[in-house]
Copies of this chain bind each other. A is one copy, B any other.
C-alpha cells in the first residue's frame, strides 16, 4: 500500500529522506536536484513526488530529520549520571568530535535558514524548534548546576556552540581546544561560589 501519514515502515520514504539528507547536508538545497535524489535513493521520481508533493516538503522533512538526529546523537554522548556542568561539556565534546578532522560542512540547521530567505518556509519553524531544543537542554543543565542565570548562560553557550561550527566550516578543521576552555570559563563564572569549578 502507498505510504500513508504516520506509516513508519515506508521503505521508499526512508531511502528518499536518507539520500536527501546526505546531499542537502553536503551541498545545500539549490545545488541538489530532485532527479539526483531519486536516482540515488533509488526510487523513481514519480514515487518521490508521491511521498513529497514538492521539493519544499522534502526540504522541511530534511530539516526535521537532521535536527532530531543530531539532538539524539548529542544526547547519546551525554552521560545522564554525570553532574550537569559535566553534561554540558560532554555535549560540547560531541560537537567537537563532529568536526574531526576536516570535512565538516557547518551546522545544517543554520545553513538551512541561511539558504531559505522566506521566513514563512515551513522548514524555518522546524529549524527554530531544533535550536530551542538545544537551548532548553543547556538551560536545564545550567539550572541544575545552580547557575546564577540559567537563561543567560544557555544563550551564551549556544552562541559559542554554533560559532564553533562556523569556525570549523570556514577553516575546514577540527574545533580547537579553546572551545572547551571557553565553555568552562562561561559555566564557572555562573556556578555558586561553594561549588566545585570545572577545570
Interface residues of A (CB under 8 A from B): 26-31, 105-107, 109-111, 113-115, 117, 119, 127-128, 131, 151-153, 155-156, 158-167, 169-172, 176, 178-179, 181-182, 185-186, 189
Contacts and interface: CB of A to CB of B under 8 A. Distances in A.
Contacts of A170: 109-110, 113, 127-128, 131
Contacts of A29: 30
A159 B179 contact: yes
17 contacts: A27-B117, A28-B115, A30-B31, A106-B114, A110-B166, A113-B170, A115-B115, A128-B171, A131-B171, A155-B167, A155-B176, A158-B167, A159-B166, A159-B167, A159-B179, A160-B160, A162-B162
Give the 5 A-B residue pairs with the shortest CB-CB distance, closest first: A163-B163, A30-B30, A159-B163, A156-B182, A162-B166
A164 B167 CA distance: 12
Given A30-B30, A105-B117, A114-B105, A178 B152 contact: yes
Interface of chain A: mostly helix, strand, loop or mixed: helix
Contacts of A26: 117
Contact of A161 (B119, B127, B163, B186): B163
Given A159-B163, A163-B163, A169 B117 contact: no
Contact of A166 (B155, B156, B165, B178): B165
